[in-house]
Amino acid sequence: MATTKMPIAKALNTSLRKAMEDDPKVLIMGEDVGKLGGVFRITDGLQKDFGEDRVIDTPLAESGIVGTAIGLALRGYRPVVEIQFDGFVFPAYDQIVTQLAKMHARALGKVKLPVVVRIPYAGGIGAVEHHSESPEALFAHVAGLKCVSPSNASDAYWMMQQAIESDDPVIFFEPKRRYWDKGDVDTEAIPGPLHAARVAQQGTDLTLAAYGPMVKTCLEAAQAAAEEGKSLEVVDMRSMSPVDFDTIQQSVEKTGRLVVVHEAPVFLGTGSEVAARITERCFYHLEAPVLRVGGFHAPYPPARLEDEYLPNLDRVLDAVDRALAY
Amino acid sequence: MTVEGTAARSKTRRSGGTAKRASAAKKKTAAPAKAEPQLVQLLTPEGERVEHPDYAIDLTPEELRGLYRDMVLTRRFDAEATALQRQGELGLWASLLGQEAAQIGSARALHDDDYVFPTYREHGVAWCRGVPPENLLGMFRGVNNGGWDPNSNNFHLYTIVIGSQALHATGYAMGVAKDGADSAVIAYFGDGASSQGDVAEAFTFSAVYNAPVVFFCQNNQWAISEPTERQSRVPIYQRAAGFGFPGVRVDGNDVLACLAVTKAAVERARSGEGPMLVEAFTYRMGAHTTSDDPTKYRRDEEREAWEAKDPILRLRTYLEKEKLADAKFLESIDEESDTMAKRVREAVRAMPDPDPMAMFEHTYADGHALVDEEREQFAQYLASFADENESAAAGEGN
């Protein structure tokens, strides 16, 4: 057994190291990823062991980071780029959306763009403006990109390996407030597909669907609900593009109720898509409308208000109660 | 050797820079505009061969005739595409009329293993790379959004978002350097693109990593309706200095100078000396694209002045004067042009509309559940019409 308990941050670091050992074409690029090891230390020690040619400290220019990563991918490399914080991805948004996402199709499949864009995202760490956003819907909406977010150490380890192996560009959302959460990582396990959702907890009365940082919140909600005699199933979506609707559907056909939870604003968010599709697929199984819990249609608030903005145990349980009341 | 148009422009351009402005504030009336730096030129508008101390070039008569052929065929192809747009066969066309020397000269400086990142007007460069001309027309006809394999000719897809490709070229060049290869990369863009952040970031990255990339800016004086003065307060080639690599301005209507300068820049990149910026000072004789109306923003006199500097005419004058090309040769090129144009015309008209199911192809390399689901649903939807037609036909049969 090669199972070790480690925090998500360490799992990501270990995964990147493994990918670099396995494939000399894998490169790491970003601001401060070298000596510092990244502001969250996800790339800690990698430059020391793989050199400045493979762990590349870049100028402070996000469009440049993604744009040059595209060129490197065209040359046969597999760049993994770090965007320092969610709110800083927008200078690179043009390169990601107009170039990275579309080039494979424009070349009629003749070129591949195996670029991973790592984004430490979402809130809960008391940061200043632009350091706590959840822009995943903006990327999931773009055809040509895949978007994933792990919720635990094992997924962090394996999903990163799979994202790097993918010939498609993957936007890899890392739940920064869970970086220090520990979990078992079996580095010899055979992982499921990158985009398969996972039933994190079995239940019979209602399904909670979430990804990334909200999975833990939903598991806690399920535990609290269990104390009140309610049996909640928790589906960890793991991927926002594509969404594994089949797994959510199976769960909803069993429970008859669905609440989707994410930190991003509810309006036009991932939850809206899940609600619409599951309503289409499970119309006759649903005992209640699909409800969504998430952020508001307001800028991410200053740190002293983020506990009010972010879905917490109470807000999730409130939605559960409303769904069960139908 | 100063070219007339350059001198004329220098009257309107003011030298920028903080230091300059500071001294100008003290002595407002003095400070005559700094003389426009001379263009590198090897062939005058009158077809006279001249020498330049830094950029000597010695071409065989055959090579000279080859450059002439490239330019004539490219211009003919461009004219044909413009006509095809007017006839409704293409949705849009971006003409290169006037920029033949800049494109042919620079492209003929490249080796096969060099890699080209074009914008959307590099038809002459594509020609030199061996890309079949009709391949360029698919996106303008609307049958695809690119449509060729960039690796077949080391000629990347046309890029419509201004300046994006400068970064792709830089990244690719960083890869070339990592591989220890001795090839070079060239990024084409226009004067308008020099204002884009991506071009500035490409300059930064290429300099910092000493990437073997040549930035080839075709300053054709206009970014749709905005003149170069709206893009930069200093000559574009001078910007390179601020990033730490050399820049040079070349007469963009002089195919020999463009060849010589690009060759030097590419050799420099290849030998590990890093990036270089070449500003080809040229002129877009036509509209920005077939949707544009240049009469709204520029004067006829300007075009007329540039027509006197026509890149093809001056090489032809030189070839005739030096008896390097006879009437028979010139005629044969015209005939070849017409044959090529006819072939292109027929090829474009024969391009079928794509199959509707092609929408779902190549969105992802690895596949994607949503694409699979939508493809299936759309196929069923389309098939539902076929069923109706079939049953209607069957009904008639009975």
Q: ipTM, 2 decimals? A: 0.96
- The H-assigned helical ranges of chain A are 8-22, 46-50, 62-74, 90-94, 103-106, 136-140, 153-165, 214-227, 245-255, 270-282, 306-309, 313-324
Q: Who has greater pLDDT, B22 or B121?
A: B121
Model pLDDT, residue B334? 97
Model pLDDT, residue B392? 63
Q: A201 vs A198, A215, A232, A318, B357, CA distance in Å?
A: 9, 10, 8, 19, 40
Model pLDDT, residue B391? 64
Model pLDDT, residue B386? 72
Does the pLDDT at position B27 exceed 50?
no
Looking only at the bridges linking them, the beta strands covering B115-117 and B185-190 are parallel
CB-nearest to B369 from A67, A104, A242 is: A242
**Rg for chain B, CA atoms, rounded:** 24
d(CA B174, CA B154): 16
Q: What would the mean pLDDT of B326-353 be, rounded to a whole number?
A: 97
d(CA A262, CA A73): 32
Check if the beta carbon of residue B269 is closer than 8 Å to that of residue B206.
no
Q: Taking each helix axis from N to C terminus, what angle separates B311-321 and B255-270, rounded to the nearest 10 degrees? A: 100
Model pLDDT, residue B5? 36
pLDDT digits (tens), chain A, 326 positions: 689 999 999 999 999 999 999 999 999 999 999 999 999 999 999 999 999 999 999 999 999 999 999 999 999 999 999 999 999 999 999 999 999 999 999 999 999 999 999 999 999 999 999 999 999 999 999 999 999 999 999 999 999 999 999 999 999 999 999 999 999 999 999 999 999 999 999 999 999 999 999 999 999 999 999 999 999 999 999 999 999 999 999 999 999 999 999 999 999 999 999 999 999 999 999 999 999 999 999 999 999 999 999 999 999 999 999 999 99
Q: Cα–chain-centroid distance for residue B32?
A: 34
Model pLDDT, residue A2? 85
Band of residue B25 on the pLDDT scale cut at 50, 70, 90: very low
CA B190, B194, B196, B202 torsion: positive or negative? positive
Band of residue B107 on the pLDDT scale cut at 50, 70, 90: very high
Instruction: Please report, in angstroms and rounded to a whole number, the separation of the first and last CA atoms in chain A.
Output: 47
**Which entry of A104, A130, A131, A297 is annotated as an active-site residue?**
A131
- Name which of B338, B315, B281, B310 is nearest B67 in CA terms: B315
Token pair of B81 as six digits: 């595409």
**Structure-derived torsion over alpha carbons of residues A187, A190, A193, A197, reported in degrees to the nearest 10:** -80
Mean pLDDT across chain B, nearest whole number? 90
**Which entry of B65, B75, B288, B345 is annotated as an active-site residue?**
B288
Residues of B in contact with A144 (CB under 8 A): 363-364
d(CA A66, CA A88): 12
d(CA A317, CA A293): 10
Band of residue B389 on the pLDDT scale cut at 50, 70, 90: low
Model pLDDT, residue B22? 40
Model pLDDT, residue A17? 98
Check if the beta carbon of residue B340 is closer than 8 Å to that of residue B73.
yes
Model pLDDT, residue B17? 37
Q: What would the mean pLDDT of B168-172 be, rounded to a whole number?
A: 98
Cβ–Cβ below 8 Å for B159 and A241:
no
Q: Which residue has the tokens 């420099």?
A: B268
Residues of B in contact with A75 (CB under 8 A): 171-172, 174-176, 179
Q: Which residue has the tokens 């993957």?
A: A170
Cβ–Cβ below 8 Å for B171 and A67:
yes
Check if the beta carbon of residue B114 is closer than 8 Å to that of residue B184.
yes
Cβ–Cβ below 8 Å for B175 and A61:
no
Q: Which residue has the tokens 């398969």?
A: A196
Token pair of A210 as six digits: 């979430």
Token pair of B378 as six digits: 């759309």
CB-nearest to A76 from B175, B362, B366 is: B175
Q: B137 vs B76, B78, B85, B188, B386, CA distance in Å?
A: 14, 11, 10, 19, 32
Token pair of B96 as six digits: 């290169």
- pTM over 0.90, yes/no: yes
Instruction: Please report, in angstroms and rounded to a whole number, the separation of the first and last CA atoms in chain B.
Output: 86
d(CA A88, CA B252): 39
Query: A206 has which bridge partners?
Result: A232
Does the pLDDT at position B16 exceed 50?
no
- Long-range CB pairs of B236-242 (<8 Å, 24+ gap) are B236/B191, B236/B194, B236/B277, B236/B279, B237/B37, B237/B277, B237/B278, B237/B279, B239/B194, B239/B203, B239/B277, B240/B203, B240/B215, B240/B275, B240/B276, B240/B277
Check if the beta carbon of residue A13 is closer than 8 Å to that of residue A65.
no
Q: Which residue has the tokens 């402070």?
A: A60
Check if the beta carbon of residue B292 is closer than 8 Å to that of residue B285.
no
Check if the beta carbon of residue B53 is closer than 8 Å to that of residue B248.
no
Residue B110 CB neighbour total at 10 angstroms: 23
Q: A210 vs A137, A149, A156, A161, A214, CA distance in Å?
A: 14, 10, 16, 22, 6
**Which entry of B21, B86, B230, B297 is annotated as an active-site residue?**
B297
| Lowest-confidence region among A119-128, B67-76, B386-395 | B386-395
CB-nearest to A71 from B152, B157, B175 is: B175
Residues of A in contact with B151 (CB under 8 A): 110-111
d(CA A76, CA A24): 11
d(CA B170, CA B190): 16
B159 touches chain A (CB under 8 A): yes
3-class DSSP state for residue A123?
coil
B355 touches chain A (CB under 8 A): no
